[in-house]
Every structure is written in C-alpha cells, then in structure tokens.
Amino acid sequence: MACGGNLAELCGDGNRLNVYQNTAYQPPAQEVASLGTFVTRGCHSDSQSARALSNSYTNWDTMSVELCLKLAAGYRYAAVEYYGQVLATPILSARQSVVPTY
C-alpha cells in the first residue's frame, strides 16, 4: 500500500510490514559487572511512587555508572535510572523485585 505522506513509497498492507534495518545500530552497552567495591545485583523494578532506593541525585549531561557509584560511595546500594538519575540507599526496599534485563 502506498504511504499517505509519499505515494511513491510502500508502507505495508494487509498484515504486512515494510521492515528496514539500521546498519549503523550499536546495541546498548553491557551491564557493568563490578566497579570498585560495588557489584551488580541485576535489574530491579522501581516506580516514582514506591522508590526501591530512597536518595536521588541527577546529572542529565554526563552521568555514567562510574559517576553514579562515586556519588553513592557512602551508601550500600546504588542504581542508575533514566540515563542521568542516581538512586542510593543504605537498605534496599522490599517494594522492588528482580526483573529481566532488556
């Protein structure tokens, strides 16, 4: 079926997709297994209304796992969320659970 925005292009039809591959795609970086005295505990659930970790820092421009763990050096647990938010706490909340990594 012709695309609505450009009739010279195909946009799928009748349970069919025109699929394209991005040849420049780079998969996300692998999870850091350990860094300094911190080791990974896997992927955990979290929500704004029931935080798994109680203290929050943000750095939207230059956050990295290394910076996160440096900011959380005085805590037992630390996590990076939304590419620039650090969550840290001395006690991990029972409100979280382990979930599959994307």
The tokens describing 92, both together, are 């991990």
pTM: 0.61
In a domain, residue 13? The reply is no
d(CA 66, CA 72): 10
Higher-pLDDT residue of 81 and 29 is 81
Predicted confidence (pLDDT) per residue in 46-87, tens digit: 777 777 777 788 888 888 888 888 888 889 888 888 778 888
* Residue at 40 is within a domain: yes
Residues of the domain holding 81: 34-89
CA proximity to 93, closest of 81, 80, 76: 76
Most confident range, picked from 11-15, 32-36, 45-49, 71-75? 71-75
- Confidence category of residue 101, pLDDT binned at 50, 70, 90: low
pLDDT above 80 for 25: no
Number of domains in the chain: 1
> Residue 80 has which token pair?
């990076």
